[in-house]
Amino acid sequence: MALPVVRASVRRDFRDFDAQFESLVQQVFGPASSPAERAWRPATAVSETESAYVVELEVPGVKREDLTIEVEDGRLAVAGELKETENGTLRSRTRRTGRFEYRTRLPRGVDADGIGAELADGVLTVTIAKPETATPRRIEITQA
């Protein structure tokens, strides 16, 4: 079975299309930033317990002082930077470095004072206490 031959003109057409598309993107959104300048999003798990929402972000190698956590207008924003290390000549890398960001909208009624964070073993755990109205509670029935 013979494989189809891709002619040089087809490759040139794709290159031309790619260049035109990149030009259009730059006209609409401005010059593209380099991959090193773009923020990436860490792997995240969000769970819910009876009393809180828990956001876990995988940030191995990130120091506490390189992290910021902010709450504003009902949104949680976690940002930081994983700095490159210089241990000789780099031969291969599959892990990301540079700036990262994670943003999410918080449930209604969450109090910013009820948010805590802990960094342990490369995992940043942000615990968001549920408002009293969202926490289920059992009502005792009294005898009349």
- Does residue 35 register a pLDDT over 80? no
- Report strand pairing: 115-120 vs 123-129: antiparallel
More confident residue, 60 or 138: 60
Name the pLDDT band for 41 (thresholds 50, 70, 90). very high
Averaged pLDDT of the chain: 80
Residue 75 has pLDDT above 80, yes or no: yes
pLDDT at 68 (0 to 100): 95
Q: What is the mean pLDDT of residues 63-75?
A: 92
pLDDT score, position 136: 73
> Which has more pLDDT, 140 or 29?
140
- What is the mean predicted confidence (pLDDT) over 13-22? 66
pLDDT band at 123 (very low <50, low <70, confident <90, very high): very high
Alpha carbon dihedral 56, 58, 62, 64, in 10-degree steps, equals 10
- What CA–CA distance (Å, rounded) separates 52 from 68? 21
The domain ranges of the chain are 44-85+96-134
Query: Confidence class of residue 3 from pLDDT cuts 50, 70 and 90?
Result: low
Q: Does the pTM of the predicted model rise above 0.85?
A: no
CATH tag, 44-85+96-134: 2.60.40.790
